[in-house]
Structure 1
Amino acid sequence: MADSSEWQCVRRGKGRARKAKLPQSEKQQTHECLDRERDKYRITEAINELRCEDFWPEWKEILSGCLRETVGGTVETSDCFMECVCYGLGNFSSCVSARYQLAMLLLLLDALQIPVCQCSLYDPVFTVSEYETLRELGFTVLTENEEGKRAVCRPTLFYLMHCGKALYNNLLWKNWSPKILPKVFLIGNSFLGIQERTLQRELESDYRYLSHITTVCEETCLPSSQRFLDVFNDTALIRFLPHKLHKLPEPIWDEPSEPQYEHCPDLEIIQRAREPK
């Protein structure tokens, strides 16, 4: 048996440096930073994938054609789409469809030569990390829920993928004029598709601006592939050409009242909190 004197109790020396531990807040910041870098990498991957899809050149051609003939030639090509607004994108960090839709938005901005900083985004479901990721990508991230009620003063492209009827209806109401609507361009759900899926009496009573405009808007289907059918299905470029808008009776344009949705149980929009009356 070994002599007991050979057994030593090994203890940490008082002078030995312990491994430094990051404070919890710093660890969280590091983790969030890594998450954002991961999300940006995934978005870049999605952009590269979409570039290789056959339908991307078709999207590009359709949008470029829109530039050439926009507003009956009354707007110079270089001045068209001075701004872009995106609502309802969703959680792109966790939802694959939302990530590809964001990637497509970045491709469109590049193709149409719209600076990323001139594109504003908002979705009430964005996480803090997603807000920061979008800012790091160069976007302008809105902090207020506009509910789609944004008035335009120059040609503006609205990117509203798979958004609810109320959002489209609110946007139309806010720009309800035969002089202003031609400055509004939409990439989103086909209005004809919405009309087919919705009872006519519901459209007329709850979404009347959408109901009025469907008969006179210019709608161009945007194609997809089988792989991305769930991401870009039922998507169209929608324009409001002056000569078509004038087909509507003049009284329709008089004093448009703000939409109210108190009696819509399945409202597909997150409304901002109202102050009690």
Structure 2
Amino acid sequence: MERLTGRLAVVTGAGAGIGRAIARRLASEGASLIVLDRQPEGLAETEALLGEAAHGAGQVVRCLEGDVTDPALPDRLRALLAELGRPLDVLVNNAGIGGGGMAHETSDADLQRYLDVNLVGLFRLSRFAVEAMRGRGGVILNLASIYSFIGATGSAAYSATKAAVAGLTRQMATDYGPEGIRVVALAPGLIETPLTAERIRSERWRRHIYIDQSPLRRVGRPEDIAAAAAFLVSDDASFVTGETLRVDGGWTLGRYPRPTAEWAE
């Protein structure tokens, strides 16, 4: 499948995990990529993998070391697009931070960090993308979370920013749809990445809550998110905008474990 041949996508947080998987999937479907991360080692590994995934004539892969909280980042991307002589077709706002604590445990500085990374940086890059896409259309894909929709203990600042991402997705889809710009989002459930793998293995309660109580009874893979991302940014989803697609194994449907001997009277 080469649904994205001839298109240029920017993927943030592409140095590992979900961002890397999305970049690889888009490259495998023909897209040229600008991959962004603040970790140069991760970027180098992603670049090597994209070289293997990209197989079409004229595909371009460029790496950009940077932080989404940097107000100068849109200008750097604008200059890189001009250097490449290519328009922007897709922006994937994947970079973000998780974790945190309950509201009374969250300082002003902690809250500001979540806002800066998960919301302000995403907002700033989305504004840049709209400017770049006006007059020709394009797709902005945001990474929200299942916590955009439900409460989760110990994640006050994270949940607040991810709920804001889902709201911003709807608002921008409404504002810019008439100009041919689609704005969509993905809400991952528990995904096994280098940041979560050890916790999944070592914390039995986490496995019980997120796997035993999920209809599909498994943890997600970065490739699950990447496949959904490739669909949403392709023309196969040309009539989809403003939606936040949950990719969570059905977890948010209702967490009801099946009867087992452990719960028998």
Q: Tell me if TM exceeds 0.5.
A: no
TM-score, normalised to structure 1's length? 0.35
TM-score, normalised to structure 2's length? 0.36
